[in-house]
Structure 1
């Protein structure tokens, strides 16, 4: 199984890195911002840089859509995992077109309100994970696995 882990640097990247017990023995690659925290954390990992800042930016969406097209066609992952933020959107939608399974993990600090990225990827996500039971009112198909932290 080949896994694509995609997310913003900082907390989203840390969130994905905490899933190491799952991904450590799998073929994988990362898509994140080309920033010092990401380069340091992923120094021994295969990483593709994406465009930032992404927050509510149509320009960033289309640039990252082009990056997603190139990366997904080259790598052909079986599974795409993300905890946000906006860079996940083009990867999830194109990933579904390419036959990838998708897993989205809504961030820990959202207890009863959705993130914009969560709302956008919810329709195409195979498994939508929340960390609070209250979030199942927001995302009815979600699975509550409790805290990842």
Structure 2
């Protein structure tokens, strides 16, 4: 498992914090990050390989197009085996292009959505290899999901 290359992709802020909490899993693996080039991300990921993506992403076609181009370039260069995300919108082009390139996709639905799906969750659910939720109630929304409990 140490030779596996992992792409951790997500917005800065809470989504990035979620991914960072998985450190016991990724700390000894070949990895790189894709997130917003913002102070919190630069600080948290100091010393990590990081690719900046375009923001703001909220329901923006312009951002989707720009991030799809970034995803194409980054995925061609890095060729990850696994792509992991907890959202938000920047995950969508990385997941769809990553799927085409043969990467395994793992999506973790955010902690604060208990009984309603997120937009990103709905968009990637049909193509992911593992969809992880943190509340049993979320399995009503995502029946194929695996509940691993809270990351916190």
Give yes or no for TM over 0.5.
yes
Measure how far apart 1:42 and its partner are. Answer: 0.4
Asked if 1:146 is matched to 2:149, the reply is yes
Q: What are the residue-to-residue correspondences of 1:101-140 with 2, within 5 Å?
A: 101-140=104-143
Q: Which runs of 5+ in 1 are unaligned?
A: none
Q: Which runs of 5+ in 2 are unaligned?
A: none
Q: What are the residue-to-residue correspondences of 1:1-149 with 2, within 5 Å?
A: 1-149=4-152
Report the Cα distance in structure 2 between the residues aligned to 1:87 and 1:124, rounded to whole angstroms: 16
Measure how far apart 1:110 and its partner are. Answer: 0.6
Measure how far apart 1:45 and its partner are. Answer: 0.1
* Number of residue pairs matched by the alignment: 149
Measure how far apart 1:44 and its partner are. Answer: 0.7
Report the Cα distance in structure 2 between the residues aligned to 1:59 and 1:45, rounded to whole angstroms: 28
After the TM superposition, which parts of structure 1 deviate over 4 Å for at least 4 consecutive aligned residues? none
SS at 1:137 equivalent: helix
SS at 1:123 equivalent: coil
Report the Cα distance in structure 2 between the residues aligned to 1:84 and 1:130, rounded to whole angstroms: 13
Measure how far apart 1:132 and its partner are. Answer: 0.4
Report the Cα distance in structure 1 between the residues aligned to 2:72 and 2:103, rounded to whole angstroms: 13
Measure how far apart 1:117 and its partner are. Answer: 0.3
Measure how far apart 1:65 and its partner are. Answer: 0.2
